[in-house]
Copies of this chain bind each other. A is one copy, B any other.
Amino acid sequence: MATKEEKRIEILKAAARIFSANGFEKAKVEDIAKVAGIGKGTVYEYFDSKKSLFKQMISFGLDQYRLSIKEIIEENLHIRARLVELAKYSAKYFNQHIDMIQMATQCNLLSNEMKQWLIEERLAVFELIEQMIDEGIKKGELRQNLNVELASFVIIGSIGEHFTKRVFFDGLNIEEIDFGEMVDVILDGLV
């Protein structure tokens, strides 16, 4: 049998699936329980409320994302390869956790304390990207006078927009997406 912590994770994963598919409001606790293979009441043994479950799911998901991003960044690759890997993983991740994309907006449904925390979580991602850029500059892979923060916006925004268009608008599967060319445009600019 599963330990208490394992079952908690199980519920978090189920929550991620249901919240992703339906959004916070339309997601039913009962469905999450069903996916987790437990009774509805049991969810409340592990989490105080639906909202609390949502928060912890986001937290859990972002931790996973940050850790993976960190690994990618820490691999000793050229900046271009790193960005491609980042885009690839992000796409895979976004695809499984649309709620992660929603969170930035849905957060206004949550408490201020939560909102603050969410901002911080997201900042942590930005920081990782900025680290990567910094390193790229130091290694001479990126230009010296680059504004690191602005560059991080271009990277994150472009990757997100690209993913959204390819998956939701063009109906592609993630494997079918060509990230290389996208990264080239980011790196080379439009001029």
A182, B156: Cα distance in complex, Å: 13
A154 in the interface (beta carbon within 8 A): yes
Select A157's contact among B104, B142, B162, beta carbons within 8 Å. B162
A67 in the interface (beta carbon within 8 A): no
| Contact partners of A122 in chain B: CB under 8 A | 169
Interface residues of A (CB under 8 A from B): 21-26, 79, 98, 101-102, 104-106, 108-109, 119, 122-123, 126, 133, 136, 141-143, 146-147, 149-151, 153-162, 164-165, 168-169, 181-182, 185-191
By beta carbon, the residue of chain B nearest A120 is B169
The 4 closest A-B pairs by CB, nearest first: A189-B189, A157-B161, A157-B157, A25-B25
Question: How many copies, total?
Answer: 4
| Contact partners of A105 in chain B: CB under 8 A | 23, 98, 101-102, 105-106
* Contact indicator A26/B158 (Cβ below 8 Å): no
Select A190's contact among B24, B143, B156, beta carbons within 8 Å. B143
* Contact indicator A23/B190 (Cβ below 8 Å): no
A66, B26: Cα distance in complex, Å: 30
| Contact partners of A164 in chain B: CB under 8 A | 104
| Contact partners of A169 in chain B: CB under 8 A | 119, 122-123
By beta carbon, the residue of chain B nearest A151 is B190
| Contact partners of A181 in chain B: CB under 8 A | 147, 150
**A98 CB → nearest B CB, Å:** 7
* Contact indicator B25/A165 (Cβ below 8 Å): no
* Contact indicator B189/A187 (Cβ below 8 Å): yes
By beta carbon, the residue of chain B nearest A119 is B169
A174, B120: Cα distance in complex, Å: 21
